[in-house]
């Protein structure tokens, strides 16, 4: 790619990216990234059995079993609706960053915590209800006279958390839920831009050191996810020069949301394999070998996948993908 395209310019870099996307969309995609799994649905999972709607779980030294709606977890068993947890967690429900046994409706239950309900920051604790910030405690109820952890005590507004990246809500929806909302627009205009994104040199070879003094206007303008301006720092400029890459045209916040959009959603659709026999259903990809279901028959396999039906990707079942691509 680098030999064929001069990637030092933003225009050529964008063109190369478009051509790459066109190319990969002509190749069948495996319906899901599942390795060493049994009776499991989801995506990006290694080592799981009897799991449904689970995502981004690399079990390492633990296996995930009998779990539902798990996200970024390691070795969860007999649990439901958990995220960023694992290492042998069992019988857990609706909790985040919690490790232990019988953890319910809880955030940050660490260490050997067990029998923890409606609590936060137990490190470790057991047999507690409605508590916050306990260390090596047991048999506590409402250490601060709250029935559970009040949302108003959260140090972050809803739209400042990762929840808003995967389940975005507007201000009205956030207010209706009783969560705090931070209006980042109030910071817009706090910094006077000195150069617009479109006026940055196209080629990194033409960028001078004085760009470090510039306050750059985000190319997305009013649609900017940040405060509308950004700066290039010294180590960042060194990185672009070393790798012969153009300067970005949008702010770090907008770049982050661009990356988020490249990930498949945390949702599954029931679909049929797109292998039509000799080629894909959309006639973009021509099969290279005769599949087990034979060239004159459409593959009958169905599966649950994070690729929505209206998307352009060619989605094959495990068998057709293994025969055609691996």
Q: What pLDDT band is residue 2 in, cutting at 50, 70 and 90?
A: low
What's the average model confidence in pLDDT over 210-216? 96
With bands split at pLDDT 50, 70 and 90, how would you rate the model's confidence at 61? low
Six token digits for residue 165: 């990246």
Checking if the pLDDT of 196 tops 50, the result is yes
Matching residue, tokens 């899901």: 32
Q: What is the pLDDT of residue 150?
A: 58
Higher pLDDT, 99 or 234: 234
CA distance 25 to 21: 6
Q: Which residue has the higher pLDDT, 318 or 178?
A: 318
pLDDT at 153: 64
CA 95 – CA 108 distance, rounded (Å): 8
Output the average pLDDT for the chain. Answer: 88
Q: Is 22 exposed, middle or buried (0-12, 13-18, 19+ CB in 10 A)?
A: exposed
Q: What percent of the chain has pLDDT over 90?
A: 49
275 closest CA partner among 265, 263, 264, 285: 285
Torsions phi, psi for 318 (to 5 deg): -60, -45
Q: What does the pLDDT read at residue 187?
A: 76
The predicted pLDDT at position 146 comes to 46
pLDDT of 84 strictly over 90: no
- Spatial contact of 300 and 320, defined as CB atoms under 8 Å apart: no
Say what the alpha-carbon torsion angle 224, 229, 235, 237 is, to the nearest 10 degrees.
Answer: 90
Per-residue pLDDT at 4 exceeds 70: no
Position 272 scores a pLDDT of 97
Stronger pLDDT, 111 or 167, i.e. the higher one: 167
pLDDT of residue 147: 47
pTM across the whole model? 0.68
Lowest mean pLDDT among 73-77, 90-94, 258-262: 73-77
Mean pLDDT in residue range 96-122? 88
Task: Taking residues 82-101, report their average pLDDT.
Answer: 86
Q: Is pLDDT at 87 greater than 80 in this prediction? A: no
The pLDDT value recorded for residue 160 is 87
* Backbone φ and ψ of 95, nearest 5°: -135, 160
**pLDDT tens per residue across span 277-300:** 899 999 999 999 988 887 778 999
**Alpha-carbon span 116 to 154, nearest angstrom:** 19
The pLDDT of residue 5 is above 80: no
Mean pLDDT of 158-169: 86
């Amino acid at each position: 790619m680098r030999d064929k395209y001069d990637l030092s310019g933003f225009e050529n870099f964008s063109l190369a990216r478009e051509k790459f996307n066109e190319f990969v969309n002509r190749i069948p995609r495996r319906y899901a990234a599942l390795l060493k799994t049994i009776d499991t649905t989801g995506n990006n999972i290694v080592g799981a059995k009897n799991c449904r709607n689970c995502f981004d779980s690399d079990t390492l030294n633990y296996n995930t079993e009998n779990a539902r709606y798990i996200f970024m977890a390691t070795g969860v068993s007999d649990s439901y609706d958990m995220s960023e947890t694992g290492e042998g967690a069992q019988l857990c429900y609706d909790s985040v960053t919690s490790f232990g046994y019988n953890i319910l409706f809880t955030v940050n239950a660490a260490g050997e915590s067990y029998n923890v309900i409606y609590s936060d920051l137990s490190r470790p604790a057991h047999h507690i209800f409605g508590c916050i910030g306990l260390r090596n405690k047991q048999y506590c109820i409402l250490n601060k006279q709250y029935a559970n952890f009040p949302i108003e005590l959260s140090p972050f507004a809803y739209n400042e958390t990762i929840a808003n990246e995967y389940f975005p809500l507007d201000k009205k929806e956030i207010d209706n839920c009783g969560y705090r909302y931070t209006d980042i627009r109030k910071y817009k205009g706090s910094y006077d831009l000195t150069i617009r994104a479109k006026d940055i040199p196209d080629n990194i070879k033409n960028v001078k050191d004085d760009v470090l003094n510039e306050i750059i206007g985000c190319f997305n303008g009013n649609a900017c996810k940040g405060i509308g301006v950004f700066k290039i720092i010294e180590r960042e400029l060194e990185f672009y020069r070393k790798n012969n890459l153009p300067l970005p045209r949008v702010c770090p916040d907008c770049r982050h949301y661009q990356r988020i959009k490249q990930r498949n959603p945390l949702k599954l659709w029931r679909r049929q394999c797109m292998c039509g026999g000799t080629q894909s259903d959309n006639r973009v990809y021509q099969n290279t070998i005769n599949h087990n279901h034979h060239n004159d028959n459409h593959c009958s396999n169905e599966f649950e996948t994070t690729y929505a039906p209206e998307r352009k990707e060619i989605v094959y079942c495990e068998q057709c993908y293994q025969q055609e691509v691996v």
